[in-house]
Amino acid sequence: MKNTVFYVFHDDDDSLTLGTRVPQRVAEVAVTHRVGVEVFIFGPAQKHLSLLASDADVQFNRQIDELVADGIRVGACINAAQAAGVDKSLSQRGITLTVARDEFLRFTREGATVISF
């Protein structure tokens, strides 16, 4: 099965909210097209997994939790999570923590289409 990865890096409000809403919309029809969907959060956006400082943060985190609840793999960098002291809380939310370098290589090996926000 082919895979589409939504890579959320930027932490402006539009990147956070659209970068997590678009995968929800794509997932609605992905199975019909035999395409997998996953989300990877890294860089400046990753700190927002632990913030609720703005309406965009609240929407971002709600959509992340909805993606996880819908069985969509949501990943983030374990090194950044450990450095921020949030690795346990992110894991408890169902976010898969891995080394970002290894994920980027996996995307390449698997021939995934990566869409960045």
Other beta carbons within 10 angstroms of residue 56's beta carbon come to: 17
CATH number for position 95: 3.40.1260.10
Other beta carbons within 10 angstroms of residue 94's beta carbon come to: 15
The two beta strands, 73-77 and 2-8, are unpaired
Q: pLDDT per residue over 69-79, tens digit each?
A: 999 999 999 99
Q: Report the share of the chain in percent with pLDDT over 70.
A: 100
| Spatial contact of 8 and 15, defined as CB atoms under 8 Å apart | yes
Q: Is the entire prediction scored with pTM above 0.75? A: yes
Closest of 40, 51, 50 to residue 77, by C-alpha = 40
Total domains, the chain: 1
- What residue numbers bound the domain in which 105 lies? 2-116
Residue 111, pLDDT score = 98
